[in-house]
């Protein structure tokens, strides 16, 4: 077999027998163009207002006793964070737009093969919904690309400022060791919780699971060992696990928010959890377009219609040719 490159394995594999519809190609090109225009407009406006802010505040500082160097330092923090967050948001948007080709081909080919694993359960769109998705998709894709870039950029900008004033600025002002000492004091309780989590895993692996059935097995079987000790440990660690649950709940909220923000512009993926996909109207638009394209571009159906058309023409030419030409 031919050895595939890393790009073909992980990113995209070229299929010479698959042709993307002109609608998808035009939508992707317009999304890139709209993203470029949005970035250009944003940078022009931000540069204009930064210069205007600098002129106004510098004049005020010159006429007062305030320190100009501190203002320049904070303005540089905001300016560099703005440009870095803009570059990161643009990079993520470019990746998301490029994924349209990958997911379109993956979804439509699975539909051609009769597999509907990418469709939500109990999803049966009406013909009106499917054709509506076909009409709405290009506009939705461009609008979600622009809104996704803006929202991700602003979120990254705020997160970048938090990082700068919690990490970079204290280190530059007081030194790394002073900042590290404060971090250790603040995170001491979290380190204790993490140590307890590691202790639980170690106890489970070493004392509460039976040995492997075979040396070739990857993991131990789910068979309880030292049952009485397990129940005692479970009792004593109950309250610690409540605290771990509170911490895990906060982590779940932050992770869900971060993933939801990063996937905001990707309407080919549902942001809603399983069972609530119908609440994501943009995702339903994508599915409606896929279903409509499947019914109009299925190779088996097209081949059948072509053969039926050829057979009908041949029948008309041979059976009724004399009548038609007379």
User: Mean pLDDT by 10-residue block, N- to C-terminus, for the chain (326 residues)?
Assistant: 64 77 92 94 89 77 69 85 94 92 89 80 79 89 94 94 92 88 83 82 82 78 81 82 86 90 88 83 88 84 84 77 44
Decide if 33 is inside a domain.
yes
Cβ atoms of residues 298 and 112 within 8 Å: yes
Domain encompassing residue 247 = 18-317
Q: Which residues pair with 209 in a beta bridge?
A: 224
Decide if 278 is inside a domain.
yes
Token pair for residue 93? 């948007």
Judged on CB neighbours under 10 Å (0-12, 13-18, 19+), 85 is buried
Q: Which residue matches tokens 């622009």?
A: 146
Decide if 91 is inside a domain.
yes
Q: Is the pTM above the cut of 0.75? A: yes
What pLDDT score was predicted for residue 66? Answer: 64
What pLDDT score was predicted for residue 10? Answer: 65
HEC per residue, the chain: CCCCCHHHHHCCCCCCCCCCCHHHHHHHHHHHHHHHHHHHHHHHHHHHHHHHHHHHHHHHHHCCCCCHHHHHHHHHHHHHHHHHHHHHHHHHHHHHHHHHHHHHHHHHHHHHCCCCCCCCCCCCCCHHHHHHHHHHHHHHHHHHHHHHHHHHHHHHHHHHHHHHHHHHHHHHHHCHHHHHHHHHHHCHHHHHHHHHHHHHHHHHHHCCECCCCCCCCCCCCCCECCHHHHHHHHHHCHHHHHHHHHHHHHHHHHHHHHHHHHCCCCCCCCCCCCCCHHHCHHHHHHHHHHHHHHHHHCHHHHHHHHHHHHHHHHHHHHHCHHHHHC
What pLDDT score was predicted for residue 324? Answer: 43
Q: Which residues pair with 224 in a beta bridge?
A: 209
- Overall number of domains in the chain: 1
Q: Give the integer Cα–Cα distance in Å for 127 and 138.
A: 18
Decide if 2 is inside a domain.
no
φ and ψ at 209, to 5 degrees? -115, 140
What pLDDT score was predicted for residue 118? Answer: 79
Q: What are 162-197's pLDDT values in tens digits?
A: 999 999 988 988 888 888 888 888 888 778 878 888
What pLDDT score was predicted for residue 82? Answer: 93
Decide if 11 is inside a domain.
no
Decide if 304 is inside a domain.
yes
Cβ atoms of residues 270 and 280 within 8 Å: yes
Decide if 323 is inside a domain.
no
Decide if 157 is inside a domain.
yes
Q: Give the integer Cα–Cα distance in Å for 290 and 308.
A: 25
């Amino acid at each position: 077999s031919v050895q595939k490159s890393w790009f073909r394995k992980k990113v995209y594999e070229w299929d010479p027998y698959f042709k993307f519809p002109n609608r998808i190609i035009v939508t992707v090109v317009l999304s890139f163009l709209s993203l470029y225009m949005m970035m250009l407009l944003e940078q022009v406006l931000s540069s204009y207002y930064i210069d205007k802010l600098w002129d106004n505040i510098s004049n005020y500082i010159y006429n007062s006793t305030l320190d100009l160097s501190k203002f320049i330092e904070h303005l540089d923090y905001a300016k560099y964070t703005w440009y870095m967050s803009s570059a990161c948001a643009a990079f993520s948007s470019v990746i998301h737009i490029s994924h349209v080709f990958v997911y379109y081909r993956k979804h439509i080919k699975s539909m051609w093969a009769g597999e509907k694993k990418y469709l939500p359960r109990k999803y049966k769109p009406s013909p009106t919904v499917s054709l509506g998705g076909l009409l709405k998709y290009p506009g939705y894709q461009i609008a979600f690309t622009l809104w996704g870039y803006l929202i991700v950029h602003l979120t990254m900008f705020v997160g970048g400022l938090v990082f700068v004033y919690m990490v970079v600025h204290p280190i530059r002002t007081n030194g790394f060791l002073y900042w590290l000492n404060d971090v250790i004091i603040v995170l001491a309780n979290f380190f204790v919780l993490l140590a307890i989590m590691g202790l639980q895993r170690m106890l489970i692996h070493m004392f509460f699971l039976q040995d492997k059935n075979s040396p070739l097995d990857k993991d131990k079987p789910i068979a309880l060992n030292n049952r009485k000790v397990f129940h005692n440990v479970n009792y004593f660690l109950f309250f610690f696990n409540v605290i771990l649950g509170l911490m895990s709940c906060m982590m779940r909220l932050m992770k869900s928010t971060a993933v939801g923000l990063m996937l905001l512009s990707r309407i080919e993926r549902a942001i809603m959890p399983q069972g609530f996909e119908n609440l994501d109207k943009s995702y339903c638009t994508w599915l409606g377009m896929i279903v409509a394209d499947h019914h109009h571009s299925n190779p088996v159906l097209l081949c059948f219609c072509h053969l039926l058309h050829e057979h009908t023409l041949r029948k008309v030419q041979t059976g009724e040719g004399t009548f038609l030409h007379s």
